Amino acid sequence: MKIQSINPATEQLNGEFETLDWPGVKKAAKDSREAFEEWRRLDVSERAGYLRKLASALRSNAQDYGRCMTIEMGKPIKSSIGEVEKCAWAADVYADSAKRWLEDEQVEAGARKSFITPQPLGVILSVMPWNFPFWQALRFGIPALAAGNTSILRHSNTVPMCAMKIGDAFAKAGFPDGVFEVAITDHDAVSRLIRGNLVDGVSLTGSVEAGRRVAALAGRHIKKFVLELGGSDPFIVLGDAKLESVCPMAVEARLINSGQSCIAAKRFIVVKDIAEEFSRRFVELMQAKAVGDPMDEKTEVGPMASRQQVETLESQVGRSVAMGAKVECGGHRMPGKGYFFEPTVVTHVRPGMPVLNEELFGPVAPIIAVKDEADAVRIANRSRLGLGASVWTSDTAKGEELARKIEAGVVYVNGIVASDPRLPFGGVKDSGIGRELSRYGLLEFTNIKTVVVK
């Protein structure tokens, strides 16, 4: 089967690629299994050495890899290069910390000696999306390999060129054959891998529906899984917030990756006393954003990754307007070539509208006015998704108090939600199961083994 890579800014064909058939996928899995037996035996410090080389390879090729991301999924070039550099940073963090994070934990339990030792599970399959082509794949892959596992990357077929560039980075870093395999293949191959004995676990970043399917299949076959799914992140603005500084941050939080991010702010919940001024400032700043050619370093908002993304946004806004929502700016696909959508602000929203009930994967921002902070928390938690959230206030003690009440995997007070290799990342409710990054992410695909010596 052939797949196409399309430049979303020009709608031109980047290239056609042949997917790997089942015999090819099976061989990759067997190669990964063979590599695991050697890789697991390396001392953590030796694996760290490979990670440092990976960091170097990423930094040395950041321009090339960044350009690939930009022409394949439309990310503005400055963000693309920054994404590659963030991956290099993650490799350095694990190179520095993995040995300490994997040390045996001594426990007093009435025996001569009792300890807990984390050991790798084996071959781990990762199923990754297109929106952060390098970061999503490597924020899983780096910890998994640091722990002593080997990995197979099944990347989104929207970004086959990026998948190959990631494989190129591991090759340039000199990783042994089979330690990190890239398989450009179909969904059926993913299912067959999970059903069989070729992989020992699976990590998926994607939609809630995809997560349900993978979790059901992995559970049926007793395979460890980690899911990072969708988000409908609330951006809560309290009455004492300084709008001159908060509003630019609100726009930045909404337009992460041109709005195509699970942790982009997607619901702006503002105390009613300041809601009108917040809306005015927010609209002005959204309208001022530079939308255009993602290869231009001045561009702030690039195209959506596909025609389907644009059509979905138009439908979500249009259906919400039909239900009584008001578009303050934007609301439409931009004319001409490319999958561009106007930065959009929607007010007069209420429960049941698509702009609230469905995940918005693009530059569309609904504003909800609430009576007070208790109402803000109630509305923030009125979602089946619970990935990230932020609270904006001049009173940081109050911000911390509210952060504890919000149902989410990560909450920032007076900061934009972001992933950081030093901190655990993941969601609750329909936003996922398990954690990535930090020591917690490192241990997800290990056997937490107890050893007792009498």
Which residues are catalytic, by number?
Answer: 228, 262
Q: Residue 449 region, left (φ>0) first, then alpha (ψ -120 to 50), else beta?
A: beta
- CA 306 to centroid of chain Cα atoms: 18
Rg of the chain over all Cα atoms, to the nearest angstrom? 22
How far is 403 from 75, CA to CA, in rounded Å?
Answer: 31
**Tokens 């077929």 — which residue?**
157
Give the integer Cα–Cα distance in Å for 437 and 443: 9
Residues near 276 by Cβ (< 8 Å), separated by ≥ 6? Answer: none
Q: Which of 313, 317, 316, 315 is nearest to 304 (CA)?
A: 313
Task: Please state, in angstroms and rounded to a whole number, the distance separating the CA atoms of residues 11 and 325.
Answer: 31
Hey, which residues does 370 pair with through a beta bridge?
A: 271
Query: In angstroms, what CA-CA distances link 214 with 18, 52, 73, 434?
Result: 24, 32, 25, 14
Closest CA to 93 of 434, 435, 426, 438: 438
Give the 3-state secondary structure of residue 248: helix
Q: From CA 397, how far away is CA 12, in angstroms rounded?
A: 52
User: Rounded to whole angstroms, how far apart are CA atoms 427 and 323?
Assistant: 30
Separation between Cα atoms, residue 282 and residue 53, nearest integer Å: 43
Question: Kind and range of the H or E element at 203?
Answer: strand 201-205
For 353, the 3-state DSSP assignment is coil
Token pair listed for 285: 């700043």
